[in-house]
């Protein structure tokens, strides 16, 4: 039993999960160092099974103000940066 607890203490990085990433379109870049990204997810409807689109907005930190409205970007989960910002810009795919 002690061996199991020492193994988890020896390798704490293995128990941590990887950060979530999303790909979406920038719909607003009016704020300083902040972009609003809309992601579209296709999921089957719970009752009817038809594929429906779900849209969600994420506020992401853009340190260099690289992304502009209409760009396709990848964002990654991060620590809370403000009341609404929980994501940061990783890369800009398409301008």
Establish if 41 belongs to a structural domain.
yes
Residue 73, classified by CB atoms within 10 Å of its CB into exposed (0-12), middle (13-18) or buried (19+), is buried
The single residue listed with the structure tokens 């719909």 is 27
pLDDT at 44 over 90: yes
Closest CA to 82 of 64, 63, 59, 65: 59
For 75, other C-beta atoms within 10 Å of its C-beta total: 26
pLDDT at 73 over 70: yes
Residue numbers of the domain that contains 81 = 19-94
| CATH at residue 47 | 2.40.50.140
Instruction: State the chain's mean pLDDT as an integer.
Output: 87
pLDDT at 12 over 80: no
> How many domains would you assign to the chain?
1
Can you give the pLDDT at residue 67? Answer: 93
Establish if 39 belongs to a structural domain.
yes
* Higher per-residue pLDDT: 87 or 5: 87
| Range with the poorest average pLDDT among 17-21, 30-34, 42-46, 89-93 | 17-21
Read off the pTM.
Answer: 0.76
The C-alpha atoms of residue 22 and residue 19 are separated, in whole angstroms, by 10
**Neighbour-count burial for 38-55, b at 16+ CB within 10 Å, e otherwise:** eeeeeeeeeeeeeeeeee
Can you give the pLDDT at residue 90? Answer: 94
């Amino acid at each position: 039993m002690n061996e199991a607890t020492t193994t988890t203490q020896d390798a704490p990085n293995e128990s941590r999960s990887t950060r979530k990433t999303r790909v979406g379109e920038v719909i607003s870049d009016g704020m300083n160092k902040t972009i609003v990204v809309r992601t579209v997810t296709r999921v089957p409807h719970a009752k009817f099974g038809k594929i429906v689109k779900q849209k969600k907005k994420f506020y992401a930190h853009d340190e260099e103000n690289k992304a502009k409205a209409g760009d396709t970007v990848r964002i990654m989960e991060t620590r809370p940066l403000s009341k609404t910002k929980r994501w940061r810009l990783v890369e800009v795919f398409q301008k």
